[in-house]
Amino acid sequence: MGYMLLIDEIRKNGHRLTGSTQRFFLDGGCERGPRLLYWILSYIPKHVMEKIEPFFNIVIDSLNVIVIYIFCMSVLRHYDINNPGLWALVICFLFMFCPLFWSNIGRPCFFSGRNIGFLFGNIFFLSLIYYFVVSKTFLPLLVSFIGFLVAAFTGLFSLQAIVFISFFWGIATLNIEMIITLVLFFVVIFIPMLKTGMISHHIGHLSGFAKFMDNYPTTPKITFGDWKKLLRAIFCFDIKGIIQSIHRIPLVRGIMFCPGILIFVASLFISTGTVRNYWILLSLSIAIIVVFFIVTLNKFRFLGEAERYLDYFVVPSFLSMIILFRGAYFPIIITFVIYLFVSIINLCIFIRQHLKMNLKLNGIRDAIMFFKNIETSSVFAVSARWTIPIAYETSHLILFFLASVPKSGQKKQDYINVYNNGRQINDSNIAMFFEMMSRYNIEYFLIEKSRLKIEIMEKFWDKVFENKDFLVFKHEKTEFGVQL
């Protein structure tokens, strides 16, 4: 929904990308982020876009599968593997059912530029492999460059992942032509991004994210105690404790979401075969594992959720395994069974989470109808998940962020305070929220019931809306901060 709001803002701005989104008090300057996709989609009428949006990920995933199938067929034929079409379908199946893509941050969860960035990032890596392994012609090199270009100008995380993975890939191959090619790609694309401020904007975003990442659910600081909790839960067969630990510890979460890592590493020790130009393909998978492992370390958590770097791992890893085993059925069948088992578990968790989310979506729709029926005002909601639909459906000003951390000053501190304290509003932090809302002249406050001790708010604000999941309070323009 946030990206639908961005598209709508660009459309209202005459399809111009200048200017920050004014509806959010704590917006850090999202106009400098890559918005190629949203600019293109802004030419589609709003009512048409709303009908297309639910099918967006399905189309992108379908295109990804088609690209993967064509690529795998070509490479497998080059290595004279029997039944290349069958093995290409197997890789497509493993890609589609990788548990990574059924996690909370996976592709099915939301419409965004990340999906396009991933598609073209995939095209970049696969085309470059094709160039060095199958055919050193101009076309795959051009396709690879276009893939990098579109991925970079669609989502900065796509650019970040491509750069880090390519860096280690180039080192691992020790191939001078590969390194020169990657450097030339980066120079050509980085120059306009530096001039437009996109790179400095993203660096600022990462440095700001580092300020509150300890309280971000997918990047907590991991201690020895977290590992002890996981082992204790395993020995006591505490399913809930195991799931909580898996979701907390990035290294375990990544392996759980992408079990192909363990299978791939095991295959390196099992097989003794050698294949021509094989190291180019194999080293990409190794480079991705190295990047994943580095980002799981506490000092590098600001680079995002570690498992997102594994998006590019599935295809090259399983393709290299099939080539290494020369299309032998037994190891691939074992892989298939393991993948299917773990995928079913993750799919069940995903369905359970999204059933809960759909129930809350019904609740937020009622709240949105409430806000539609009142005059334009200012609203504060702790979770971006709920503020963005309100901004999209109404004309209210919102006390929250849209894209990135403000660079400095009071807004940056307010942004950090919201993130660090917003998971539970209680006696210890309510004064901070009241003071902040007073400075921004906030009139309405939307909150999930699970985040709040209701009696705290009822002392100072009037409750004007309530349903099963949400509450809305109204402030009557008094100096409520000092009442505490």
Residues 71 and 149 in one domain: yes
Indicate whether 345 and 427 sit together in one domain. no
165 pLDDT band, cuts 50/70/90, is: very high
In terms of residue numbers, what domain contains 391? 374-483
Q: Is the pLDDT of residue 257 over 90?
A: no
Residues paired with residue 24 on neighbouring β-strands, in sequence order: 398
Identify the band that residue 320 occupies on the pLDDT scale cut at 50, 70 and 90.
confident
The stretch 440-465 carries a mean pLDDT of 75
Long-range CB contacts (< 8 A, 24+ apart) of 260-266?
260/94, 260/98, 260/313, 260/314, 260/317, 260/318, 260/335, 260/339, 261/289, 261/292, 261/310, 261/313, 261/317, 263/321, 263/334, 263/335, 263/338, 264/289, 264/313, 264/317, 264/318, 264/320, 264/321, 265/289
* Inside any domain, residue 202: yes
Q: What pLDDT shows up at residue 34?
A: 61
Are residue 100 and residue 168 in the same domain, yes or no? yes
Confidence of residue 408 (pLDDT cuts 50, 70, 90): low
Is 185's pLDDT higher than 80?
Answer: yes
C-alpha separations of 279 from 185, 266, 267, 283, 323 in Å: 21, 17, 14, 6, 12
> At what angle are helices 250-257 and 329-372 packed, to 10 degrees?
110
Of 260, 285, 273, nearest to 81 by C-alpha is: 273
Residues 245 and 301 in one domain: yes
In this prediction, residue 166 has a pLDDT band, given cuts at 50, 70 and 90, of very high
Q: For residues 327 and 384, state if they share a domain.
A: no
What average pLDDT does the segment 394-412 reach?
66
* Total structural domains within the chain: 2
Determine, yes or no, domain membership for 358: no
- At 34-89, the pLDDT tens digits run 667 778 888 888 888 888 877 887 888 889 999 999 999 999 998 888 888 888 99
Q: What is the largest CA-CA distance in the chain?
A: 78
- Looking at residue 404, what is its pLDDT? 58
Please count the CA atoms within 13 angstroms of the CA of 456 that sit on its side-chain side: 17
Confidence check: pLDDT of 176 > 60 = yes
Percentage with pLDDT > 90 across the chain: 11
In a domain, 169, yes or no: yes
The mean per-residue pLDDT over the stretch 428-434 comes to: 78
**Token reading at 130:** 């094709």
- Laid out side by side, the sheet with 444-448 consists of 397-399, 378-381, 444-448, 470-474, 462-466
Three-state secondary structure of 206-270: HHHHHHHHHHCCCCCCCCHHHHHHHHHHHHCCCHHHHHHHHHHCHHHHHHHHCCHHHHHHHHHHH
- Tokens for 138, please give them: 């101009």
- Three-class DSSP labels, 193-217: HHHCCHHHHHHHHHHHHHHHHHHCC
Last residue of a domain, one of 317, 351, 385: 351
Confidence of residue 106 (pLDDT cuts 50, 70, 90): very low
Q: Is residue 414 part of a domain?
A: yes
Instruction: Quote the CA–CA distance of 288 and 294 in Å, as a whole number.
Output: 10
The region of weakest confidence among 62-66, 83-87, 177-181, 203-207 is 203-207
The structure tokens listed for 38 are: 């949203």
User: Rounded mean pLDDT of the chain?
Assistant: 77
**What is the b/e burial string over 257-287, where b = at least 16 CB atoms within 10 angstroms of the residue's CB?**
bbbbbebbeebeeebeeeeeeebbbbbbbbb
Condensed to tens digits (0 to 9), the pLDDT of residues 226-251 reads: 888 888 888 888 877 877 777 778 88
Q: Examine residue 43 and state whether it is found in any structural domain, yes or no.
A: no
Distances in Å between the Cα of 379 and the Cα atoms of 131, 180, 382, 430, 472 are 53, 52, 10, 17, 10
pLDDT at residue 127 is higher than 90: yes
- Single out the residue in 319, 351, 383 at which a domain terminates: 351
**pLDDT band at residue 478 under the 50/70/90 scheme:** very low
Question: Do 130 and 208 share a structural domain?
Answer: yes
| 237 within domain boundaries | yes
> 27 in a domain, yes or no?
no
- Helix, strand, coil percentages for the chain (3-state, nearest 5): 70, 5, 25
- Does one domain contain both 298 and 151? yes
- The count of other CB atoms within 10 Å of the CB of residue 409 is 8
**What is the distance between the alpha carbons of residues 335 and 351, in angstroms, rounded to a whole number?**
24
Q: What is the pLDDT of residue 348?
A: 73
pLDDT at 465 over 80: yes
Digit-coded pLDDT (tens) for 271-310: 545 555 678 888 899 999 999 999 888 888 778 778 888 8
Confidence band for 375, pLDDT divided at 50, 70 and 90: confident
385-to-336, 448, 463 alpha-carbon distances in Å: 36, 11, 21
Query: What pLDDT is recorded for position 6?
Result: 76
Q: How much is the pTM?
A: 0.80
What is the model's pLDDT at position 341? 76
User: How would you class 377 by CB atoms within 10 Å of its CB: exposed for 0-12, middle for 13-18, buried for 19 or more?
Assistant: middle
Please report whether residue 219 resides in a domain: yes
- Tokens, residue 270: 């099992």
pLDDT at 405: 61
Per residue in 326-342, pLDDT (tens digit) is 766 666 677 677 777 77
Of residues 123 and 346, more confidence is placed in 123
Mark whether 344 and 439 lie in a shared domain: no
Pair 344, 462 in one domain = no
197 and 230 housed in the same domain: yes
pLDDT at 125: 94
Q: Are 336 and 423 within one domain? A: no
My answer on whether 342 and 397 are in the same domain is no
- Average pLDDT on 173-195 reads 85
